[in-house]
Amino acid sequence: MNTPRRLETTRCKGQEYFIDDRLQEYRPIDKPFISIPFNSEKGIEISEADMLMRLNDHTTKYEVRCTKCGKLLFEGTMMEIRGMIIYCTECTVKRKDPSGD
Which residues would be at the binding site for Zn ion (CB under 5 A)?
A: 66, 68-69, 71, 88, 90-91
Closer to Zn ion by Cβ: residue 11 or 68: 68
Closer to Zn ion by Cβ: residue 59 or 89: 89
Closer to Zn ion by Cβ: residue 48 or 90: 90
CB of 87 to Zn ion, least distance (A): 9
Closest CA to 87 of 97, 70, 73, 77: 73
With 0-12 CB in 10 A as exposed, 13-18 as middle and 19+ as buried, what is 73? middle
